[in-house]
Structure 1
Amino acid sequence: MSAVTEFIEQTLISPRYLAGSGDPAWVTVPLRRACGWSTAGDPLVPRVILTSPDQIAQLRIAPDPDPAEPWWTLRHAHHGDQRAWEITFDAQTPVEIIAAVTDTLTAPAPPPTASSDAYDPLRAAGWHAPRHHDGLTSPKGMTSPDGLARVDRIVDESGRSTGWIVETSVHHLPAIWRAYADGNAPSHVASAFFGALADTTPLIRHAHRVPPLAVTHGSTSTRQVSAESVACALRNRTTALAQRNPASSPLAPPAPPHAPTARRAR
């Protein structure tokens, strides 16, 4: 007698920056199992800290009741010619966007290339410079075609770029989530971040974890998929990253780290 296939309803959400947080394991498990990052934490404190094998990079996940405080902080120490840098993400930042940054950080170093603008992925996706009240466009910022997401370049008095602020918001409502990347972040890391932000591929969420604003201001559709394929998604992602850079993968995959349960939703 053949086994009965179980199906689960999933929702595809577009634009992806309205999809809500998702499951932190999408980021933490591959870092631990495929990239050899070590974990540390206090069982009495809802916090997870992962550190790269070379001790240069650290990812800290610290749930905070204050929505204005970032939950995710990625720090990279000064190394060689690269200055120290930091990127932070609010609680509702989709984990797939955060994963685009950590995946780039754990990939083999890219070959040197001609300098490119971090905004290139945004322009390629149809983002545009916002207009001021006087009708002039701002060279410092980029806005999504739907007007719901924005990236602003921070500059000092001399005109030097000191970082970027990313914000997703709906009209006059409070921001859904914000992220900050300082100006020392490598260009390929910033490009990966903005490329994931502008990617038009819908994100997948469980049907009962769809943010209301995604329904009212985005596009959603449902599909039935096998429970087996849902269960394999994270494992397949982890395996692909391990095969990409086997030198950093641990010999025996350890148990996945405990992530804050308040954010588990995929």
Structure 2
Amino acid sequence: MPPAPETVEVDFITPRHLAGGGDPAWITVPLHRACGWSYGDDPLMPRVLLSSPDQKALLRLEPDPDDQWWNLLHSAEPNQPAWYASFGARTPVELIAAVTDALTDPAPDTDALCDPYGALRQNGWTPYGDSGLASPDKTAYVERLGTPADPGAWFASVTLGTHEVWQARFGAHTPPPLVAAFTDALADPKPVHRIDSGCSLPTLDPDVVTRQFIDVPAVYVAGALEDRVRSLAARHTATAPVAIPSPQAPPRHGRTR
């Protein structure tokens, strides 16, 4: 009888905005390998720099205890002013990846009138302040500064009591489809997965976060990033490759804590 496949205990967490930052490679590796972004590094500096093939966009990952860790900068174009987006260290990589995936899509959504609040409202977010929305658990908030006649920057923040867990910022000129990609991912009720998550979560309070531990075949875990790279690379080709199963394949065993 063949031995049972080796498994890894994976922690599936909801709400996703309290899942911790996750693995930066979920963003940086596909940008380089699937989207052709070039990278530069300095062995004496703890930072990563990635630039788009047209040199118009720069993603900087730089640990800074007093500021945002992720900064995405885009230069001005004939019909688009320069814009930026930035994300705190504990921003889940799945949310940041939604933005970079939308930015690098060869067939992008160009609907300048799309509503970044739409997915939030559809998933039970309620009015907050003058123009913002709050998550059902009242730990996440999204709002846009300014006025309808003169709209300003977008802010998304996650707090636990008086402690800010992370903040995301989008400049006033950030294309609305990119902001909407972020809020769509933020509003998604599906869990995100983490391995060895205990030390990275902003809270372990079972009244705030739900964690389901599932034994997943190790090959699925190891192949998740490759699956993502292949999927994004396939957007640039006529024929999509065969997908590698993701860690959310049917589990063998599961339990909730």
Q: Under a length normalisation based on structure 1, what TM-score does the superposition of the two structures give?
A: 0.84
The offset of 1:112, in angstroms, is 4.5
Match of 1:192 in 2: 181
Say which SS state the counterpart of residue 234 (structure 1) adopts. Answer: helix
**Aligned mates of 1:39, 1:110 — CA distance in 2:** 23
Match of 1:201 in 2: 190
Match of 2:246 in 1: none
Match of 1:37 in 2: 37
The offset of 1:214, in angstroms, is 4.6
**Aligned mates of 1:111, 1:206 — CA distance in 2:** 33
Unaligned runs of 5+ in 2: 239-257
Residue among 138, 152, 160 paired with 1:147: 138
Match of 2:81 in 1: 83
Q: What's the CA shift string for 1:186-233, capped at 9, x where partnerless?
A: 111010011111111101011444515154411111100011100000
**Aligned mates of 1:7, 1:153 — CA distance in 2:** 44
Match of 1:162 in 2: 152
Match of 1:49 in 2: 49
**Is 1:121 the counterpart of 2:119 in the alignment?**
yes
Q: Under a length normalisation based on structure 2, what TM-score does the superposition of the two structures give?
A: 0.86
Q: What's the CA shift string for 1:125-179, capped at 9, x where partnerless?
A: 1111125xxxxxx2x21111110100121116x851111111101122x100011
Match of 1:263 in 2: none
**Aligned mates of 1:245, 1:81 — CA distance in 2:** 25
Kindly report the root-mean-square deviation, in angstroms, between the aligned alpha carbons of the 2 structures: 1.9
Match of 1:180 in 2: 169
- 8 Å CA contact 1:14–1:202 kept in 2: the answer is yes
Residue among 227, 245, 249 paired with 1:236: 227
Q: How many residues align?
A: 236
Match of 1:106 in 2: 104
Which letter does structure 1 place at the counterpart of 2:113?
Answer: S
Match of 2:61 in 1: 61
Higher-strand-fraction structure: 2
The offset of 1:117, in angstroms, is 2.1
**Aligned mates of 1:145, 1:44 — CA distance in 2:** 44
Match of 2:216 in 1: 225
Unaligned runs of 5+ in 1: 132-137, 248-266
- 8 Å CA contact 1:14–1:214 kept in 2: the answer is no
The offset of 1:4, in angstroms, is 4.5
**Aligned mates of 2:45, 2:227 — CA distance in 1:** 30
- 8 Å CA contact 2:99–2:178 kept in 1: the answer is yes
Say which SS state the counterpart of residue 169 (structure 1) adopts. Answer: strand
- 8 Å CA contact 2:114–2:180 kept in 1: the answer is no
Choose 201-210 or 50-59, whichever is displaced more.
Answer: 201-210
The offset of 1:32, in angstroms, is 0.4
Match of 1:262 in 2: none
Percent identity at matched positions?
A: 43
Say which SS state the counterpart of residue 176 (structure 1) adopts. Answer: strand
**Is 1:97 the counterpart of 2:87 in the alignment?**
no
Change (3 A) 1:72 1:212: closer
- 8 Å CA contact 2:110–2:177 kept in 1: the answer is no
Change (3 A) 1:145 1:226: same
- 8 Å CA contact 1:19–1:214 kept in 2: the answer is no
